């Protein structure tokens, strides 16, 4: 084999290993982070010692905390990080 074929084969193997390592890194623990919603209502999820109930359009939109846990409530919040936008005050 010439150098170009070896390089192509090596790069393909490395790309395959990268894809496999990402897939393995995402699976683990007893948690299920499936990305789906129950449209038009709500749903319940439980596993291990944890339970979570959710509905669409909850009035408690915002960060919920208790014990050592933090939960972003509302329309299927994406995470607990909430950013505040500070706009400058301009006077004439």
What is the per-residue pLDDT across 15-30, written as a single tens digit (0 to 9) for each?
888 877 776 665 556 6
- Decide: 57 and 42 in contact? Cβ < 8 Å: no
Measure the CA–CA gap between 68 and 64, rounded to whole angstroms.
Answer: 11
Measure the CA–CA gap between 71 and 80, rounded to whole angstroms.
Answer: 6
Instruction: State the residue for tokens 């990402």.
Output: 22
**Confidence label for 67 from pLDDT (cuts 50, 70 and 90):** confident
pTM metric for this prediction: 0.28
- Decide: 82 and 71 in contact? Cβ < 8 Å: no
Task: Specify the pLDDT at position 34.
Answer: 58
Helix (H, G, I), strand (E, B) or coil at 10: helix
């Amino acid at each position: 084999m010439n150098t170009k074929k070896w390089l192509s084969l090596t790069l393909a193997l490395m790309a395959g290993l990268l894809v496999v390592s990402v897939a393995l890194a995402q699976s683990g623990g007893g948690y299920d982070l499936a990305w789906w919603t129950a449209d038009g209502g709500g749903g319940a999820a439980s596993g291990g010692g944890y339970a979570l109930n959710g509905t669409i359009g909850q009035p408690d939109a915002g960060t919920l905390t208790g014990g050592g846990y933090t939960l972003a409530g509302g329309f299927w919040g994406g995470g607990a990080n909430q950013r505040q936008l500070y706009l400058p005050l301009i006077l004439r």
